[in-house]
C-alpha cells in the first residue's frame, strides 16, 4: 500500500465545538497537521482584531482549517461517495487542499497584507511548493502532488468540481467560518442546517449543485452570511481596531524609511520594511510577535507610534461618525487642515473606512458571469441560479448596501476642547464635547 492510501491504525479525533469531532484516518492528513507550518496557524487568530469587540473570538486559523477539512471529508466520504460524477481519485487531493487552504495567512493578515502589499495566497503556494515540512509530506504522495494541491487552492486546477468544494459561493470554507465565528463570538446569527445542505449537495462536472428540495436550507445559509457580515465582520469597533493596527504598521515602516532609530530594534520587520522578505522570514511572524512589538513600541520616542500602540494594547480605540463621501468629501479637506493645526497628523488620526476595505462578501447571482453562482438542481434535471428560484435570496442579493465611517480620536478632542480649532472640528463632526458622551 502506498503512502497516499495509508491509514492510521486507529482513527484520531479532535474534539471540536462546532462539528463535535474532526476525524482523521489518513496518514497524510495526520502528518500534515503535525508540520511546523500548519502548527503556526495556532498562533494566528481567525478573526484578527474582532476579539476586541467580541471577547470570545480568540479562535485560530488552526481550528478553522481543521473544520474545513472535516466538512470536506464529510462531503467526499458521505455525500459524494459512489456517485458516478465523483472521481474517488481526487479524494486525498480535496482533503489536503481543504486542510491547507489558509496556510499562508500572516498575523492580523487583513491589515498586514494591505500595508505591505502582500497576498497570503502567494505564501500558501510558496509554503506548499517550497523547502518546508508541508512540501516534504505532500511530495511523498507523488512528486507532482504539491503542485496539484497549490492549484486547487489557487482555483486553477483542471477539475473545477474539486475547486468548488473549498472555493465557491457555498463551500466548506464558508460553511465552517460562519458557524465557527458565530460560536466563538457568541452571536445568534450564523447558524444553519449544514447537515441538510451536505445531504442535498450533488457533484456535477464543474461544480457542486444543490437539489431543489434543499433550497430552504441554502436560504438560511445565505441569510446567515448576510447577517454575520453586518453584525460581526463589519462591526464598527472592530474596524476601529483595524484602522489603528494599519496605522501602526504604516508608521513603523515610515519611521524605518526615515532612518529613525528604534529604541528596540524591530528585527522581525526589517526584511518586510525593505521589501526583501523570504519565506523563512514570513514564517517567523505570528500574532505573538506583533503584539510583543506593539508593547515595546509604547516606549518609543516617536509620539505617533507610541500613542497608536498604547491605544491598541489598551483598547482605547478611535470613535466614529457616519460619513457620506458624496456629500462630505469637501468637509474632509477642511477637517484635515484643522487636525493638523491641532497637532494631530490627519494621515494617522482622521481615517475614512469603507465597506469595500473588507475581505468578506455577500452572495452574488453572477448576472454577468463575474462569479459562479449557487445552482439548484430541479427535478427535471434543469439547473437554475438560486436567486431566480428564491424570493428571499433575490431580496437580499439585489440590494446594494455600502457603508463609510470616519474615525478619529475622541479622547484627544475632549481633552483639548478649549482650543479653537477643536471647537471647529467638533462643529463639523457635530460632536458635543461638553457632555462627555463622545
Residues that bind another protein (CB under 8 A): 119, 121, 154-156, 158, 160, 206-207, 324-326, 329-330, 332-333, 336, 352, 354-358, 361, 364, 367-372, 400, 402, 404
Which is nearest to 308 in space by CA: 384, 265, 251? 251
Q: Least distance (Å) from another protein to the CB of residue 402?
A: 4
Q: Least distance (Å) from another protein to the CB of residue 56?
A: 27
Q: Least distance (Å) from another protein to the CB of residue 329?
A: 6
User: Cell 437539489 identifies what position?
Assistant: 211
Calculate helix-pair angle for 120-129, 133-141, nearest 10 degrees: 60
Count Cα neighbours of 154 within 13 Å in the Cβ-side half-sphere: 18
Instruction: Considering the complex, state which of residue 298 and residue 340 has its C-beta at the smaller distance from another protein.
Output: 340
Instruction: Considering the complex, state which of residue 56 and residue 346 has its C-beta at the smaller distance from another protein.
Output: 346
Instruction: Cell numbers for 220, please give them.
Output: 438560511
User: Cell 519565506 identifies what position?
Assistant: 279
* Residue 231, CA distances (Å) to 15, 188, 225, 315 in order: 28, 10, 10, 20
Instruction: Considering the complex, state which of residue 330 and residue 379 has its C-beta at the smaller distance from another protein.
Output: 330
* Residue 393, CA distances (Å) to 191, 194, 278, 365, 390 in order: 16, 17, 44, 9, 5
Q: How far apart are CA 119 and CA 110, in angstroms?
A: 9
Instruction: Considering the complex, state which of residue 402 and residue 432 has its C-beta at the smaller distance from another protein.
Output: 402
Bridge partner list, 320: 407
Q: How far apart are CA 166 and CA 148, in angstroms?
A: 14
Instruction: Considering the complex, state which of residue 173 and residue 300 has its C-beta at the smaller distance from another protein.
Output: 173
Q: What are phi and psi of 358, to 5 degrees?
A: -95, 150
SS3 annotation, 313-334: HCCCCCEEEECCHHHHHHHHHH
**308, 252 in Cβ contact below 8 A?**
no
Instruction: Considering the complex, state which of residue 121 and residue 302 has its C-beta at the smaller distance from another protein.
Output: 121
Measured over the CA atoms of residue 272, residue 274, residue 278 and residue 281, the dihedral's sign is: negative
Q: Least distance (Å) from another protein to the CB of residue 35?
A: 25
Instruction: Considering the complex, state which of residue 278 and residue 313 has its C-beta at the smaller distance from another protein.
Output: 278
Q: Least distance (Å) from another protein to the CB of residue 154?
A: 6
Q: Least distance (Å) from another protein to the CB of residue 333?
A: 8
Instruction: Cell numbers for 241, please give them.
Output: 481596531
Instruction: Considering the complex, state which of residue 289 and residue 352 has its C-beta at the smaller distance from another protein.
Output: 352
**309, 294 in Cβ contact below 8 A?**
yes
Q: Least distance (Å) from another protein to the CB of residue 33?
A: 26
Q: Least distance (Å) from another protein to the CB of residue 354?
A: 6
Amino acid at each position: 500500500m502506498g503512502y497516499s492510501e495509508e491509514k492510521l491504525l486507529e482513527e484520531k479525533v479532535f474534539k471540536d465545538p462546532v462539528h463535535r469531532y474532526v476525524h482523521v484516518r489518513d496518514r497524510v492528513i495526520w502528518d500534515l497537521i503535525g508540520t511546523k507550518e500548519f502548527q503556526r496557524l495556532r498562533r494566528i487568530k481567525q478573526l484578527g482584531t474582532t476579539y476586541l469587540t467580541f471577547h470570545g473570538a480568540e479562535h485560530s486559523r488552526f481550528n478553522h482549517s481543521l473544520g474545513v477539512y472535516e466538512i470536506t471529508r464529510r462531503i467526499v466520504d458521505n455525500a459524494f461517495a459512489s456517485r458516478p460524477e465523483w472521481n474517488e481519485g481526487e479524494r486525498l487531493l480535496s482533503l489536503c487542499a481543504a486542510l491547507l487552504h489558509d496556510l499562508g495567512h500572516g498575523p492580523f493578515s487583513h491589515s498586514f497584507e494591505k500595508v505591505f502589499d502582500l497576498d497570503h495566497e502567494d505564501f500558501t503556494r510558496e509554503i506548499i511548493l517550497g523547502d518546508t515540512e508541508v512540501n516534504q509530506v505532500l511530495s511523498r504522495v507523488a512528486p507532482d502532488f504539491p503542485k496539484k494541491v497549490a492549484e486547487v487552492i489557487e482555483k486553477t486546477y483542471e477539475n473545477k468540481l474539486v475547486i468548488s468544494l473549498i472555493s465557491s459561493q457555498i463551500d466548506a470554507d464558508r460553511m465552517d467560518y460562519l458557524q465557527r465565528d458565530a460560536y466563538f463570538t457568541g452571536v445568534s446569527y450564523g447558524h444553519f442546517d449544514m447537515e441538510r445542505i451536505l445531504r442535498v449537495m450533488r457533484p456535477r462536472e464543474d461544480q457542486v449543485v444543490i437539489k431543489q428540495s434543499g433550497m430552504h436550507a441554502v436560504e438560511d445559509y445565505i441569510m446567515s452570511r448576510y447577517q454575520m457580515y453586518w453584525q460581526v465582520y463589519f462591526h464598527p469597533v472592530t474596524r476601529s481596531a483595524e484602522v489603528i493596527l494599519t496605522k501602526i504598521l504604516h508608521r513603523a515602516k515610515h519611521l524605518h524609511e526615515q532612518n529613525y532609530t528604534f529604541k528596540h530594534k524591530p528585527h522581525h520587520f526589517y526584511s518586510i520594511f525593505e521589501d526583501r522578505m523570504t519565506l523563512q522570514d514570513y514564517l517567523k511572524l505570528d500574532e505573538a510577535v506583533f503584539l510583543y512589538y506593539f508593547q515595546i513600541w509604547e516606549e518609543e520616542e516617536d509620539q505617533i507610534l507610541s500613542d497608536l500602540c498604547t491605544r491598541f494594547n489598551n483598547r482605547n480605540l478611535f470613535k466614529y461618525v457616519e460619513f457620506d463621501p458624496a456629500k462630505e468629501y469637501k468637509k474632509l479637506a477642511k477637517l484635515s487642515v484643522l487636525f493638523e493645526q491641532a497637532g494631530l497628523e490627519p494621515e494617522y488620526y482622521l481615517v475614512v473606512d469603507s465597506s469595500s476595505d473588507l475581505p468578506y462578501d455577500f452572495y452574488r447571482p453572477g448576472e454577468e458571469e463575474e462569479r459562479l453562482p449557487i445552482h439548484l438542481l430541479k427535478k427535471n434535471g434543469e439547473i437554475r441560479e438560486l436567486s431566480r428560484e428564491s424570493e428571499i435570496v433575490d431580496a437580499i442579493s439585489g440590494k446594494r448596501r455600502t457603508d463609510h465611517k470616519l474615525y478619529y480620536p475622541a479622547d484627544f478632542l475632549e481633552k483639548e476642547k478649549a482650543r479653537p480649532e477643536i471647537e471647529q472640528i467638533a462643529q463639523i463632526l457635530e460632536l458635543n464635547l461638553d457632555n462627555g458622551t463622545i
